[in-house]
Chain A
Amino acid sequence: MAPTPSRDVVVAGGGIIGLAVAWQAAAAGLAVTVVDPAAGRGSSWAAAGMLAPVAEAHFGEEALASLNVAAVRAWPEFAARLESASGEPVHFRADGTLLVASDPSDRAATDRVLAFHQDIGLAAERLGSRACRAAEPLLAPGISGGVDLPDDHQVDNRAAVGALLAAGRTAGVAFVADEVARVEVEDGRVRGVTLADGSRIAAPRVVVAAGSRSGDLGGLPDGTRPPVRPVRGATVRLRAGDGVPRLRRTVRALVHGRTCYLVPRDDGGLVLGATMEERGNDLAVPLGGLADLLDDARRVVPALDEYAVVETASGLRPGSPDNGPLVGTTTTDGLLMATGHFRNGILLAPLTSSEVVGLLIHGGRPDGPDTGPFAAFRPDRFAPKASVARGAPWAPGVATGP
Chain B
Amino acid sequence: MIAGTELGSRLLLGTGGMTSPESLAAALVASGTALATVAVRRVDPSTRHSLVDLLDGLGIRILPNTAGCFTSADAVLTARLAREAFATDWVKLEVIGDDRTLLPDPVELLDAAEQLVDDGFTVLPYCGDDPVVARRLEQVGCAAVMPLGAPIGSGLGIRNPHNIELIVEQAGVPVVLDAGIGTASDACLAMELGCSAVLVASAVTRAGDPALMAGAMRDAVVAGRAARRAGRITRRFVAEATSSFEGLVGR
Contacts and interface: CB of A to CB of B under 8 A. Distances in A.
Interface of A: 58-61, 116, 215-216, 227-230, 256-257, 277-282, 288, 319-323, 389-396, 398, 400-401
Interface of B: 19-23, 25-26, 29-30, 32, 42-44, 46-51, 53-54, 56-59, 68, 100, 153, 207-211, 215, 218
Contacts of A228: 49
Contacts of A59: 19, 207-209
Nearest to A58: B19
Contacts of A391: 53, 56-57
A71 to B, nearest CB: 19
A279 B52 CA distance: 12
B57 A401 contact: no
A393 B50 CA distance: 12
A391 B55 CA distance: 9
Given A116-B208, A288-B68, A282 B32 contact: no
B48 A215 contact: yes
**Shortest beta-carbon contacts, A-B, top 7:** A392-B57, A391-B57, A280-B44, A229-B49, A322-B22, A321-B22, A280-B47
B157 to A, nearest CB: 15
A61 B209 CA distance: 11
7 contacts: A280-B47, A288-B68, A321-B20, A322-B23, A396-B22, A396-B25, A401-B30
Contacts of A282: 44
Of the listed residues A60, A277, A320, the one surrounded by the most CB atoms of chain B closer than 10 A to its CB is A60
Contacts of B23: 60, 322
Nearest to B56: A391
A229 B211 contact: no
Nearest to A279: B44
B58 A278 contact: no
Nearest to B202: A257
A229 B48 contact: yes
Given A288-B68, A323-B20, A278 B25 contact: no
A400 B68 CA distance: 33
Of the listed residues A257, A282, A396, the one surrounded by the most CB atoms of chain B closer than 10 A to its CB is A396
Contact of B50 (A116, A229, A320, A390): A229
Nearest to B208: A59
A61 B47 CA distance: 25
B59 A389 contact: yes
Nearest to B43: A278
B211 A278 contact: no
B19 A401 contact: no
A323 B30 contact: no
Contacts of B218: 401
A392 B25 contact: yes
B42 A396 contact: no
Nearest to B215: A401
Contact of B211 (A215, A216, A398): A398
A60 B100 CA distance: 30
A391 B25 CA distance: 12
B32 A400 contact: yes
A323 B18 CA distance: 11
A362 B1 CA distance: 61
